[in-house]
Homo-oligomer: A and B are copies of this chain.
Amino acid sequence: MYKGGYTGRILRVDLTSQSAKEEAISEELAKNYLGGAGFAIKYLYDELKPGTPPLDKANKLIFAVGPLTATGAPCSSRMAVAAKSPLTNAVGMALAGGHFPAEMKRAGYDMIIIEGKAEKPTYIAIKEGEVRFRSAEKLKGMMTTDTQLFIKEELGDHNYRIACIGPAGERLVPLACIVNERRAAGRKGLGAVMGSKNLKAIAIRGHHRPEIADAEKFKKARQAMNKAMRDSEVLYPHFAKDGTPMIIDDMTKMGIYSAKNWSATGEVNLVKEQGRDAQHAMIVTSAHCADCPVGCTQVKLVKEGPYAGYLSEGPEFETTYSLGSTVGVGYLPAIIAADRLCDEYGIDTMSAGVTIGFAMELYERGLLTKQDTGGLELKFGNHQAMIEMLRQMAYREGLGAILCQGSKKAAEKIGKGSEEYAMQIKGLELPAYDVRGAKAHGLNYATSYTGADHNRGYAYQEIFGIPHPEEVDRFVIEGKGKLTKWNQDVRCVTCDCATMCAFILDMAVPDIACQNTADLVSAATGMHLAADEVQQIGERINNVARLFNGREGFSRKDDTFPKRIMTEAIKAGDSAGQLISQKDLDAMLDEYYQARGWDKNGKPTAAKLKELGL
């Protein structure tokens, strides 16, 4: 049995009966699934009946931290939040940082499983092993910042850390997220799952520090990690100052910063308005997750003009896309305001913005009219209309009641051929990178178990030109199957399971991420994992997730792209002429499935499952 790192305890909460019990984490679970997303997906796979409606009380909402969380390992205050997704019907898993994850570990839990459904709006207060169910009647409809403040005041201790939903989650909006402070487990509609359980918030507080199995070895591993971070040519000199928006300039230059619902990538250049310099001018301070020496989140504040007073943590690169370039908006103050409003409503900035961009294209093409929009001039670049539409989506009002379901379902409702403009895969809206100009990044979008999700296997080789495990040409198709498998497995275990921060790993130890994780986790837990064993955990979880999705009906047909990506080339810029044809996709999928040991239809073979002990 592991001696450190973990608390060894799962809290299983039944909202229906308003009761909670503790369970132990087995050594087998720890060794095979490590933590975070590994734990959560394993439990979802074992405990959810196939076909469970995502907003049914039979769905489960799981919060899981990793074996390094709250150990003092840098950048480890992160958690996986998972459930069957109401947006994709597949595994819904999103990560969040902040202070909640470390506090959850200190309160004594590696994982919290939320089951059932409360009869009335409820929040849970957890402190040092004590679980209280409290009425959230008075919190109904509150924005997320107010929600957190009122709970802290009611509990008589403002040092609780709180994860909660806003009005969008309460209204079961499939784009709703879960917010802790101003951080979000953003994507896949997990806020709607929380809302469907009548759970407004989880407040948590604790002082337990996980034991460390081998303190000396752990100290060395930490020091090595910190040294690698200090030595990085990117991390402190740039990333700590600029945060994720630092890549707007580069992505624009590479011609893969998607614009106007992917209709104008490479043609629109917003660098002057929302690029690195523009961003820098609006930074007031940086924000740190617990145990993070970097503090990449650049807090920005609008100091004058129509959006004066709005502050957001970020907006992150993805948000400058979703509430910026893909809706044709360069004006940073509007993006900051929209970002903050999304956090307050508890709605995913990415899916919300991309869905609005989709609606804007429909409006410009005449597939939506002023009658549909309630008079809104829903054109690209109209930030007032974007902000009003966000509100309508959060509150299910007007056209928002349709758009809040995400671009896939909205297209089904709107009809008229609008499907082809819905930039989504498996129901999840596409991230910022126009993958017509970054093929492995694209294959990852197509195959991620969560839908179009850059975080499940980020092809930093293509995006940052880092030659590891090998040098790659971002326009080339060949080799991207194997690369994507590698990226997905490594990212899965290091970030999603060990819950180390992806940004830090990519910039400090891209070439030794698994070794680094193995060293830290082994020292913390006493499990003695080698780097290749660690990587195999990532592979195992990708297979379990594939099995979960397979029994929900997902197969090769769903590992695909919106029509535009396969038929329209990027028209201008450094990626002009690029697309990913059906043939390209088929070739990449064949290679990918082969590398994965899956059959031609993308189903894990018996041999592979046996190899992974499944």
Contact = CB atoms under 8 A, between A and B. Distances in A.
A187 B557 CA distance: 66
Contact of A141 (B140, B145, B287, B303): B303
B159 A285 contact: no
Given A158-B152, A159-B157, A285-B150, A143 B311 contact: yes
Query: In the complex, which of the residues A140, A166, A285 has the most CB atoms of chain B within 10 Å of its own CB atom?
Result: A285
A344 B345 CA distance: 18
A167 interface: yes
Interface in A279-321: 284-285, 287, 299, 301, 303-306, 308-309, 311
Nearest to A303: B141
A565 to B, nearest CB: 36
A101 to B, nearest CB: 16
A417 B320 CA distance: 50
Nearest to A143: B309
Interface in A149-201: 149-150, 152-153, 157-159, 166-167, 181
A142 interface: yes
Nearest to A392: B308
Interface in A44-63: none
A284 B143 contact: no
A311 B146 contact: yes
Interface string A430-474: 000000000000000000000000000000000000000000000
A395 interface: yes
A345 B309 CA distance: 8
Contact of A308 (B140, B150, B306, B391): B391
A224 B305 CA distance: 54
A583 interface: no
A169 to B, nearest CB: 13
Nearest to A99: B153
Given A304-B397, A395-B308, A284 B159 contact: no
A138 interface: yes
Contacts of A149: 145, 181
B158 A309 contact: no
A143 B310 CA distance: 8
A299 B141 CA distance: 12
A464 B309 CA distance: 40
Given A145-B145, A150-B285, A158-B159, A309 B167 contact: yes
A167 B308 contact: yes
A393 to B, nearest CB: 11
Interface string A127-151: 0000000000011111101100110
A529 to B, nearest CB: 34
Interface residues on A, range: 35 or more
A224 to B, nearest CB: 28
Interface string A340-366: 000011000000000000000000000
A300 to B, nearest CB: 11
Contact of A138 (B152, B181, B285): B285
Nearest to A152: B158
Contacts of A141: 284, 301, 303, 309
Query: In the complex, which of the residues A308, A391, A395 has the most CB atoms of chain B within 10 Å of its own CB atom?
Result: A308
Query: In the complex, which of the residues A141, A395, A397 has the most CB atoms of chain B within 10 Å of its own CB atom?
Result: A141
A141 B285 CA distance: 12
A280 to B, nearest CB: 14
A142 B336 CA distance: 13
Interface string A372-398: 000000000000000000010011010
Interface in A92-137: none
Contacts of A309: 141, 143, 166-167, 344-345, 391, 394
A142 B312 CA distance: 11
A287 B153 CA distance: 10
A369 to B, nearest CB: 22
A143 B336 CA distance: 14
A363 B311 CA distance: 33
Interface string A11-27: 00000000000000000
Contacts of A142: 284, 301, 311
8 contacts: A138-B299, A141-B301, A143-B309, A145-B145, A149-B181, A167-B303, A304-B395, A309-B345
**Pairs of residues from A and B, 7 with the lowest C-beta to C-beta distance, nearest first:** A158-B158, A138-B285, A141-B303, A143-B309, A158-B159, A146-B311, A138-B284
Given A141-B284, A167-B308, 11 more contacts: A140-B284, A141-B309, A142-B311, A145-B149, A149-B181, A158-B158, A166-B309, A167-B303, A167-B309, A305-B397, A308-B395
